[in-house]
């Protein structure tokens, strides 16, 4: 089967998937916290749009509801909450230094290739028009993890976490036209609670270390031999 034989709507889904991947890259490259949150909101909106498009293509009406929930939650509510927290903590102008940004982007490209490789046998099994986007969804998950690894700010780590969720949701949509409704609602509920808890945490972290730089959360690392010796001497 050839790509050109897809209907325009199906091609639209693929284009949206590619754009979602692009937002993942831009999340990785953004250094300003506010810009990161905006990129995340765009990703949520694109995922929701892709979901609605899949619903249209496949005639799966329950996906419209999923798309709506996703849009409300990931394109509006969560970015709004994060934005408010950033304003409240007065870090709107904060810029985060990413160590070696070009290396990060190269690693990201490698991860995309890797997810393609892993998703290949999965895609072979599927007959859906959207099956090729499974690799994209997996890449979004992995890029979210990469973002969490490379960032030091608590808020951007959370954005990475949420973008992983985006990838997971997208995976469910494109591989199987969404999970059963009850599971999707459960996941959305968990995400909502997680957002609230994250919000609480930002204030707790801020209170305890007077910063949101999680690198400074290092009291609990396994102590090295030298430290132990120092402790013994002291």
Partner 1 sequence: MNALFATLLIPLLGTLLMAVVPRCRIAGWVNVAFAAATTAASIVLALEIFESGPLLSPGKFFYVDAFNVYLLVLTAFVATTTAIFSRPYMDHELAQGRVNNRRMRLYHAMYQGFLFTMLLALSTNNLGILWVALEGATLATVLLVSLYRTPESVEAAWKYFILCGVGIAQALFGTVLLYFAAASVLTSAEDGLLWTTLHGIAGQLDPTVMSIAFVFLLVGYGTKVGLVPLHNWLPDAHSEGPTPMSAVLSGLLLNVALYAVVRTKMLVDGALAAAPNVPQPQLAGYLMMAFGLLSFLVAGLFLHRQRDIKRMFSYSSIEHMGLMTFAFGLGGPLATFAALLHMTLHSLVKSAIFVTVGHATHIAGTQAIDKIRGLIRTQPTVGWGLLLGTAAIAGFPPFGLFVSEFLLLIATMQSWPWLTVVLLSGLAIAFAGLFRNIHPMVYGNQPEGQTPVKANMLPVYLHLLLALWFGLAIPAVLAQWFDQATQLIAGKGVL
Partner 2 sequence: MADYLTLQGWLLALLQTALFVTAAPLLVGWLRLLKARLQNRSAPALTQPYRDLSKLFRKEVIVADTASPLFRAAPYVVFSATVVTAAVIPLLAVHLPTAAIADVIVLVGFLALARFFLALAGMDVGTAFGGMGSSREMTIASLAEPAMLMAIFTLTMTAQSSNISHAIDFLLAQGLVLRPSFMFALLALLLVAVAETGRIPVDNPTTHLELTMVHEAMILEYSGRHLALMEWAAQLKLMIYGVLIANIFFPWGIAVESTPTALLLGLAAITGKLMLLCVVLAVAETALAKMRLFRVPGYLNLAFLFALLGMLSHVILEVGA
- Residue 204: CB minimum distance to partner 1, A: 5
From the list 200, 215, 229, 230, which residue makes contact with partner 1 (rule: CB under 8 A)?
A: 200
For the record, the structure tokens of 72 come out as 């409300």
Minimum Å gap between C-beta 17 and partner 1 is 15
Identify the residue among 4, 8, 99, 197 touching partner 1 (CB under 8 A).
197
Q: Is the Cβ of residue 28 or residue 73 nearer to partner 2 in the bound state?
A: 28
Q: Which of residues 31-90 bind partner 2 (CB under 8 A)?
A: none
State the Cα–Cα distance between residues 124 and 173, nearest whole angstrom.
17
What one-character-per-residue DSSP string does 89-144 give? Answer: TT-TT-BPPPSSHHHHHHHHHHHHHHHHHHHHHHHHH--STTTTHHHHHHHHHHHH
For residues 69 and 48, is the Cβ–Cβ distance under 8 A? no
Shortest gap between Cβ of 4 and partner 1 (angstroms)?
26
> How far, in Å, CA of 169 to CA of 185, rounded?
11
Contact 177, 60 (CB under 8 A): yes
Using CA atoms, how far residue 128 sits from 21, 50, 75, 131, in Å, is 20, 15, 27, 5
Within positions 151 to 170, which residues make up the interface with partner 1, using CB under 8 A? 154, 157, 161, 164-165, 167-168
Q: Can you tell me which of 52, 135, 155, 191 binds partner 2, judged by CB under 8 A?
A: 135
Buried/exposed 224-233: b ≥16 CB within 10 Å, e otherwise: eeeeeeeeee
Residue with tokens 């199906």: 10
Q: Which of 30, 66, 132, 166 binds partner 2 (CB under 8 A)?
A: 132
Site map for partner 1, 108-137, x if CB under 8 A?
----------x--xx--xxx----------
Contact 146, 54 (CB under 8 A): no
Contact flag: residue 197 with partner 2 (CB under 8 A): no
Give contact residues for partner 2 (rule: CB under 8 A): 1-4, 6, 8, 11-12, 14-15, 17-19, 21-22, 25, 29, 102, 105, 109, 112-113, 116, 123, 132-133, 135-136
Give contact residues for partner 1 (rule: CB under 8 A): 118, 121-122, 125-127, 138, 141, 145, 148, 154, 157, 161, 164-165, 167-168, 171-172, 175-177, 179-180, 182-183, 186-187, 189-190, 193-194, 197-198, 200-201, 204-205, 207-209, 214, 217-220, 222-223, 228
């Amino acid at each position: 089967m050839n790509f050109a034989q897809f209907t325009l709507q199906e091609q639209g889904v693929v284009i949206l998937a590619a754009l979602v991947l692009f937002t993942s890259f831009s999340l990785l490259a953004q250094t300003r916290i506010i810009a990161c949150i905006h990129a995340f909101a765009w990703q949520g909106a694109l995922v929701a749009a892709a979901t609605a498009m899949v619903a249209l293509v496949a005639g799966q009406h329950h996906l419209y509801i999923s798309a709506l929930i996703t849009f409300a939650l990931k394109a509006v509510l969560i970015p709004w909450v994060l934005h408010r927290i950033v304003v409240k903590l007065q870090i709107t102008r904060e810029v985060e230094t990413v160590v070696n940004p070009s290396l990060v982007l190269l690693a990201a490209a490698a991860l995309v290739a890797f997810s393609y490789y892993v998703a290949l046998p999965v895609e072979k099994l599927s007959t859906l028009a959207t099956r090729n986007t499974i690799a994209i969804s997996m890449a979004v998950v992995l890029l979210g993890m990469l973002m969490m690894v490379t960032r030091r700010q608590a808020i951007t780590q959370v954005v990475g976490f949420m973008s992983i969720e985006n990838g997971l949701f997208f995976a469910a949509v494109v591989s199987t036209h969404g999970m059963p409704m009850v599971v999707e609602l459960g996941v959305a509920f968990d995400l909502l609670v997680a957002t609230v808890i994250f919000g609480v945490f930002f204030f707790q972290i801020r209170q305890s270390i007077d910063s949101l730089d999680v690198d400074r959360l290092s009291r609990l690392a396994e102590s090295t031999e030298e430290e132990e010796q120092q402790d013994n001497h002291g």
